[in-house]
Chain A
Amino acid sequence: MAALYEGYTLCGLAPAQNLSNSGIHGVEAERDSDHVVVTDSTRSVTIYKVSDQKPLNSWTVKQGQTLTSPAVYNSQSKEYVAVSDSKVIRIWKEADILLEKAFKATVSSDVWRVHCVAGGEPVVLFHRGAVRLLDSLLSAPQQPIEEVLAQEEAIRWSTNIVTESHTFVIFTTEQKGDHFLYLQRLNPNTLQRYRLEREEPGLSPLSFSASYRDKHIRLLYLYPNGHVYQSVVSVRGLVADEGAQALPLPRSLLLGLPVGEGLLEAASAQALDEAHVAVVGVPHPSAGSGNDFLCIWNTNFQTLQAGKEMAGKIYGQLWSFCNKLVIPHGKTLSVIPYECPKSSLASALGKLRQVKTDEFDAPTSVPSWNNILHEEKAHPSRTVDTRKTRTNRKSQSAPSLTNYQVLELIKTAPVEEVQREVEVLLSRTDIQDLHPSVGQLASALVSRSLADPAFYTPGSLVSLVHTRCLCHSVCPDLVLLALERKDYFLCQLCLQFFPDIPEAVTCACLKAFISMSDVDAEKLSLDPDSVSFTETLIDAECGPVGLLNGFTSTSADGDRSDGLGEGDTRAQQDEEKTSSPPEQICPVGLHKAVLLNEVLQTAYSDSFLLPHLKDLSSQNVVLFLQYLQFLYIKYTHGAVPQMHGLRSPSLTQIMDWVCLLLDAHFTVLVMTPEAKGLLLNLHSFVKSQVRLVSELGKLEGSLQELKKMKVKKDVGQYSIEIIELF
């Protein structure tokens, strides 16, 4: 699950008076991931160390001159390259103090931009579309520059990409409302021109972003109507055919962002990896109409992964370097760390759930002096637990192990050490930070356990499951492992917390639970809440039999005698009524009932569950049905303790399971003599449910009518109305 962390300010901005642009001309990567070169739109270039939020060096051109191309860092020669007044290329080193004294070269044509990516040579892109390597240009600065673009065609955006073998310069142009993509390969030079498909008339792309992966250049562009398209161009199939017609560029709609009313004005989309796109300047779908949001979308699942409100105006600029997004907003340039782990469906879907369950803010990842010095004050809640935190602090002072080290440890270390280190890891960092690594830890633990029968760390697994960051698809073998090791507590937790347990696994759990002997079951230690719930359920006396919301459950008994139609059954019934009827005695033990309840509450789909249910033996089916019957009676007689917040199977779930079991095993049950009474009982339940539903239907009908009844409007003394006759 992608996450945006707490951002911090890199520098203040001096935006233009009308706030039309941010005052930032460009942000380029410097020597490593922690340094950036910021060129502002006036005259200066500044180097920042990002993690320190501190400028390291700064250069300014003379008054009257302007920087027309953002400065780039040539990591090969450790030089900075910038262009001033469109024609003067300036190159300087970090040691240079004054820009005026550094190297200058004037070229014959206007330069659009100088590009340089790590490991590549600087490339110069001219206004009219020509491209030169900086070196070759400097060898003859006044060399003639050809015109590639047509009249009235102007560059809108450009970048360069270095592949394994070649350097590419990519730029888009606009000509009379049409947009073109140029793909210029250097050494050997080829130029390919593509025409972008037209969006709705009058809409031009707001932002472009290009990335290279698997021998393809992927171009991502955002339109004001919120559509994000991706076009993929293969770098291999490029043929140099100059002057050929522009090829149509196929595109695919990656995202349709919600734009609220109107169109987007200043927005930008940036591809983060193959599945994630960062978007700025687009409304948050669940936070009203404001555009000041930075969001990460998963393009595979079309889901919003993370969102963050940015204070102040959004200028539609966005850069990303090494898990950091740089975004100018309001009067600041902020850096926002992010994380895009490989996403699974469950984690993609799980976001909403998490939003609901835990309300606390994402913690800061930037070390704050305040936090470090006054941690106890700042987070008193974390220090409540005694021993854990002591070890925790100890380990903090000692060089603690990183995720990676722990993962390595799991592969080899003995059980106790693994358990300890996992505990330490879990208690040290906050769960939110751990989110991506929990899956890795669990997988590693499970695979070691599977491979090594002697190795099993129930405690670690339980605490990992307790983080609620796990799901079945992240760690598919976990439940089966727990079943194998008869760790039913872990099973229970998995059933509780995993939203995506396949039906086959659910059924396997059910089978294991129901065939377990009660004696074994009672030895288990299970989740105390559900145990206490089931306890009250089993112990509860049958409530007064009578009207329940107008529905008499005693009628069920009457129906049953109708079905049999013999006198002795009536006598038997009377007997049952006087003594405790067998249906009201729980057919399974307490802990077994707890586990079965857990199964009842898992999500499933009928058609997938049904084939697996057929694997149950008839004894098991009868037992389970008896238990369900017991539950049903408890529920309909109002014996269910009304405990809010406690997980308990609903009446519908019980009925659904009854139906499923009957569907799966009907013929077998009909042939089984001991199931006869059970079936008759269930039949009467169904009858009473059908009657209840039909009564409710009638009620619904009359309520609908009530709704339909027109409120008689007061027409007063005089009104002018329009009527229509047909």
Chain B
Amino acid sequence: MGEFKVHRVRFFDYMPTAIRAMAFNSRTERLAVARTDGALEIFNFADNYFQEKVIPGQDGRAVEALCWVGRRLFSGGLNGEITEYDLENLRPRYTVEAYGGPIWTISGKGTLLAVGCEDGTVKMFEILEQRIQFQRNLDRQKGRIISLSWHPSGSLIAAGMMDMIRIFDAETGRATHRLLVERGVGAPKSKGVVVWSVVFLSDHTIISSDSAGKVQIWDGLTGTLVRTHLVTKWDVLALSVSQDESSLIAGTSEGTVVQFQFISSTVDRQEKDWVRTRTFKNHSHDVRALVHTDTAVVSGGMDTQLVVRPLLDKVEKNTHESAMRKVAFPHRSLVCCAKKAGLLLFQFPDHLELWRLGDSDGHGKPDDILPVKRKPEKLIQLKRKGEDHICCSALSPCGGWLAYSTVTSLRLYRLQNNNISITKVSKLPKDRRSAHQLCFSTDSSKLFASSSNGSVVVVALSQPECRYLHTLKPKSGSRQTVHLLAASEDGKWLATANTDCEIHVYSLGKLTLHCTVPVYSSCPTAMAINPTTSNLVVVHADQQIFEYSLVQKEYTAWSRRLQKQGLHYLWLERDTPITHVAFNPKNPAHIILHDMFMFCIIDQSLPLPEAKNVLYNQMTLRSLPEPERIRHSHAFKICKNFQHLMCVSLLEDHSLVVVERPLLDIMSQLPAPVRQKKFAT
């Protein structure tokens, strides 16, 4: 395969933000995750936990609670607004002021949306077709409403407050019960106890968690305390119950998740009881949000990672299903590499950084570290305008153009790298204000921007003025936005992919739809067009790889062979998606792929690995003498030297750029977790 010079970049200070709230839609198997910067992410649990949609955040929008009503997603935040999201065009659809001060919690039932506010009111909104409408207030209470939970019947609603839990009659709006929550042992009197979360079960059991570290079980009919579980010395921040109400999980500030199960405590007794069964420790910091799916515990919190921990009694053991998953990085690229210019563009929510790679004139043997002759330098730090966070960005291959977009505006800049200057191209076509994905053509003459309803806008770039050329629209009915764009090297083709798994290829010469790749059940995570053969290589969330000939409009022989033989089981068991596909201009048979933990060069000329072969065979090959290697080598050349990859790209001078963001660096920037007494400390 050969030697590669690798620029190992670790100066991308990407810092994900903490997870604040989560909501799971069990019908569509989508998990909505809200982060503290207001960003919203949708994960498709049916499709390998792929992060299919991201709605960027906004300054001042602090999402405190999320809730699905049917296929619609609502959020409430400390800015006092209720927002519904447009999940097709990835932007807030509308915002409604609740007029109750900061919103702490939101909970939907049927056509009603209950919102708990700072001023002590529970506000009911009616969910209409296009909007929500305020209906009424429940009885106003003294303290803020921290948590809400509907009784499954919809007639009662429990509200967690300071020092107490109230039960309201949803019909009349009257508070029927008051459950007093005692403060923690030894806590000062002035310091109240916060009921962080309540769960109202169908048998009128109410379960609460509070800042004194207790999980309490109440009888909702009589309003009496049934049982108290002291879980931690710190706060119990989140509760979630399984759909069959047999299992409950509680997340604590220590980073643990405690499971309770509704079982009979002794074998021969019939009466069931909530028994503490398991403790998971997958987080270093507060667990702020929890979801109990049918098979797994999904948790997220201050340490920014989303953890899916399958419950081993619910899944088949020792399968791919039973493995724990951690989502640490977004499933899309935040790095753009200008191959010709040797520049890197890093995308942060509120700014962009443009770096020039360093240089070395040394030559070395494999595993050498070459002396760095010229250090990498940060050329430009570009702060975004407005309060919306950046949702996508792109750098042209020549390094002369830079574009980024927020939900509301698209901005294009002309760069002069010799004397480092940046000028905004102001004369953009008027109505092309926003984009979800951006891509430059290889010759930097065109900019492609994925626009609303699955269309792609083509803009011709020239120095004084940029001209709108055309809008490419798919014929199909899908209204999902395009999340992947791939232009061919020769400027003939543009491939687009959306989250409905549709891949369209447009002919740029005729500006018409050239073909549509057969729809595969899993969402494409990365794709690219081979510059030599004009074959489109698509990688899906379920790790399948397809190669589609744009000329013949059919899958290539190699792709068919791959599908016939099947991918290696270890390849399929990887738990992070491929986020980038690139090609080696020197050898068209080489496809360069990467996920978070490895990069891989697929040599299409070599035999595919069979199940009995060792997939990760680089070490073996290294130890073998030269002639022996051919016998043992297969198409998948996987390199695990670099970890926590944000980007792997091949520059024009045939050297690789590897952008790493070690998780340890992220961890070290997090605030200190609650202090815990560890053994012998």
B 549-601 contacts with A by CB, 8 A: 601
B514 proximal to A (CB < 8 A):
no
Contact with A along B391-413 (1 / 0, CB 8 A): 00000000000000000000000
Chain A, residues 686-726, CB within 8 Å of chain B (1/0): the string is: 00000000000000000000000000010111111111111
B358 touches A726 (CB 8 A): no
B221: CB under 8 A from chain A?
A: no
A722 touches B4 (CB 8 A): yes
B363: nearest residue on chain A (CB-CB)?
Answer: A722
CB distance from A710 to the nearest CB of B (A): 11
The interface residues of chain B lying within 8 Å CB-to-CB of A721 are 5-6, 8, 367-370
Contact A719 B369 (CB under 8 A): yes
| A720 CB contacts on chain B under 8 angstroms | 5-8, 358-360, 369-370, 372
Among the 9-residue stretches B48-56, B110-118, B633-641, the one with 4 or more Cβ atoms under 8 Å from chain A is: B633-641
Could you tell me the distance between the alpha carbons of A724 and B621 in the complex, rounded to whole angstroms?
A: 11
Tell me if B366 is interfacial: C-beta within 8 Å of chain A.
Answer: yes
Query: Among the interface residues A717, A718, A722, which one has the most CB atoms of the partner chain B within 10 A?
Result: A722
Check A726–B629 contact: CB distance below 8 A.
yes
Question: Min CB distance, A504 to chain B, in Å?
Answer: 51
9 other A-B residue contacts (CB within 8 Å) besides A718-B11, A722-B366, A724-B4:
A716-B10, A718-B7, A719-B369, A719-B372, A721-B8, A721-B368, A721-B370, A726-B1, A726-B621
Query: Which residues of B approach A to under 8 Å, CB–CB?
Result: 1-11, 358-360, 364-370, 372, 375-376, 601, 618, 621-622, 629, 633, 637, 639, 641
B4 touches A723 (CB 8 A): yes
Bound CA–CA A720/B5 (angstroms): 7
Which of B359, B375, B376, B641 is A723 in contact with, Cβ under 8 Å? B641
Q: Which residues of A contact B11 (CB under 8 A)?
A: 717-718
The residues in A between 54 and 106 inclusive whose CB is less than 8 angstroms from any CB of B are none
**B358 contacts which chain A residues (CB < 8 A)?**
718, 720
Q: Which residue of B lies closest to A718 (CB)?
A: B376
What is the interface of chain A mostly: helix, strand, loop, or mixed? strand
Query: Which residues of chain A are near B375, meaning CB under 8 Å?
Result: 718
Taking chain B's interface residues, is the majority helix, strand, or loop, or is none over half, making it mixed? mixed
Question: If A718-B372, A718-B376 touch, does A725 touch B4 (CB 8 Å cutoff)?
Answer: yes
Nearest to B7 among chain A residues (CB) is A720
- Chain A neighbourhood of B3, CB < 8 A: 722-725
Q: Contacts A723-B367, A724-B366 hold; do A718 and B8 have CB atoms under 8 A apart?
A: yes
How far apart are A443's CB and chain B's nearest CB, in angstroms?
60
- Min CB gap A705→B, angstroms: 16
A719 to B633, CA, bound (A): 29
Q: How far is the CB of B601 from chain A (nearest CB, A)?
A: 6
Complexed CA–CA distance, A723 and B1 (Å): 11
Give the complex CA separation of A713 and B8 in angstroms: 13
Check A725–B1 contact: CB distance below 8 A: yes
> Which residues in B have their C-beta under 8 angstroms from that of A719?
8, 369-370, 372
Q: A718 → chain B, closest Cβ, in Å?
A: 5
A717–B344 Cα distance when bound, in Å, is: 14
Residues of the B chain whose Cβ atoms lie less than 8 Å from the Cβ of A716: 10
Chain A minimum-CB-distance residue to B359: A720
A724 CB contacts on chain B under 8 angstroms: 1-4, 366-367, 622
Name 17 interchain pairs, CB-CB below 8 A, sorted by A.
Answer: A715-B10, A717-B9, A718-B7, A718-B375, A718-B376, A719-B369, A720-B8, A720-B370, A720-B372, A721-B8, A721-B368, A721-B370, A723-B639, A723-B641, A724-B1, A726-B633, A726-B637
Q: A723-B4, A723-B639, A726-B621 are in contact. Are A718 and B364 (CB under 8 A)?
A: no
Known: A715-B10, A718-B8. A725 touches B639 (CB 8 A): yes
- Residues of B within 8 Å of A717, CB to CB, are 9-11
Which residues of chain B are near A715, meaning CB under 8 Å?
8, 10, 369
User: Which A residues lie within 8 Å of B359 (CB)?
Assistant: 720
B368: contacting residue among A718, A722, A725, A726, CB under 8 A: A722
Shortest Cβ gap from B679 to chain A (Å) = 24
Expressed in whole angstroms, the Cα–Cα distance for A725 and B359 within the complex equals: 22
User: A658 to chain B: closest CB distance in Å?
Assistant: 43
B375 nearest CB neighbor, chain A only: A718
* CB proximity of A712 to chain B, nearest CB, Å: 11
* CA of A717 to CA of B370, assembled, Å: 14
In the bound complex, residues from chain A placing their C-beta under 8 Å from that of B637 are 725-726
B629 partner residues in chain A, CB cutoff 8 A = 726
CB A720 to nearest CB in B, in angstroms, measures 5
For the complex, give the distance between the alpha carbons of A726 and B617 in Å.
Answer: 9
CB contacts (< 8 Å) of B2 on chain A: these are 724-725
- In the bound complex, CA of A717 to CA of B665 (Å): 11
What residues of A have a CB within 8 angstroms of the CB of B641 in the complex? Answer: 723
Interface centre among A716, A720, A721, A723 (most CB of B within 10 A): A720
User: B633 to chain A: which residues have CB within 8 Å?
Assistant: 726
In the bound complex, what is the Cα–Cα distance between A715 and B10 (angstroms)? 9
Q: List the B side residues contacting A726 at CB < 8 Å.
A: 1, 618, 621-622, 629, 633, 637
Quote the shortest CB–CB distance from B211 to chain A (angstroms). Answer: 41
CA distance A717 to B6 in the complex (A): 14
Taken together as a complex, chains A and B put the C-alpha atoms of A491 and B7 apart, in Å, by 75
Most buried by A among B5, B369, B618, B639: B369
Cα separation A715 to B1 with both chains bound (whole Å): 25
Check A722–B367 contact: CB distance below 8 A. yes
B360 to chain A, nearest CB (A): 5
Within the assembled complex, what's the spacing in Å between the Cα atoms of A67 and B302? 100
Taken together as a complex, chains A and B put the C-alpha atoms of A716 and B8 apart, in Å, by 9
Give every chain A residue within 8 A of B370 (Cβ-Cβ).
719-722
Bound complex: CA A721 to CA B10 (Å): 13
Which residues from chain A contact B364 at a C-beta distance below 8 Å?
722
* Set of chain A residues within 8 Å of B10, measured between Cβ atoms: 715-718
Q: Which 7 A-B pairs have the closest CB atoms?
A: A726-B621, A724-B366, A725-B1, A720-B360, A720-B370, A717-B11, A725-B637
Interface residues of A in 453-470 (CB under 8 A from B): none
> B370: nearest residue on chain A (CB-CB)?
A720
- Distance in angstroms from B650 CB to nearest chain A CB is 13
Bound state CA distance, A713 and B368, in angstroms?
12
Q: Hey, which chain A residues are within 8 Å of B9, CB to CB?
A: 717-718
Closest Cβ of chain A: how far from B631's Cβ, in Å?
A: 12
Q: What's the Cα separation between A724 and B629 when bound, in Å?
A: 13
CA of A720 to CA of B637 in the docked complex: distance in angstroms? 21
A723-B372 in contact given A717-B11, A718-B11, A718-B358 (Cβ < 8 Å):
no
- Which residues of A have CB within 8 Å of B5? 720-722
Q: Which residue of B lies closest to A726 (CB)?
A: B621
Q: Let me know if A725 and B618 touch, CB within 8 A.
A: yes
A608 to B105, CA, bound (A): 93
Q: What residues of chain B lie closer than 8 Å to A725, measured between beta carbons?
A: 1-4, 601, 618, 637, 639
Q: Using Cβ atoms and an 8 Å threshold, which residues of chain B touch A718? A: 7-11, 358, 372, 375-376
> Which among A713, A716, A725 has the greatest number of chain B C-beta atoms within 10 A?
A725
- A722 and B365 within 8 A (CB): yes
Closest to A715 in B: B8
A723-B364 Cα distance, complex, nearest whole Å = 10
Q: Mark A614-648, 1 if CB is under 8 A from B, else 0.
A: 00000000000000000000000000000000000
Q: For residue A409, give the distance in angstroms from its CB to the closest CB of chain B.
A: 74
Alpha-carbon separation in the docked complex, A306 to B253 (Å)? 79
Q: Is the CB of A723 within 8 A of B6?
A: yes
B124 CB to closest chain A CB (Å) equals 54
Shortest CB-to-CB span from B583 to chain A, Å, is: 16
Taking the closest CB of chain B, its distance from the CB of A446, in whole angstroms, is 62
CB-CB < 8 A to B622: which residues of A? 724, 726
Cβ–Cβ < 8 Å partners of B372 in chain A: 718-720
Chain A residue at minimum C-beta to C-beta distance from B372? A720
Shortest distance between the CB of A726 and any CB in chain B (Å): 4
Instruction: Tell me how far the C-beta of A721 lies from the nearest C-beta in chain B, rounded to whole angstroms.
Output: 5
B residues in contact with A723, CB < 8 Å: 3-4, 6, 366-367, 639, 641
Which residue in chain A gives the minimum CB-CB distance to B622?
A726
Which partner residue on chain A sits nearest B619 by CB separation? A726
User: Which residues in B have their C-beta under 8 angstroms from that of A722?
Assistant: 3-6, 364-368, 370
Assembled-state Cα–Cα distance A554/B21 (Å): 63
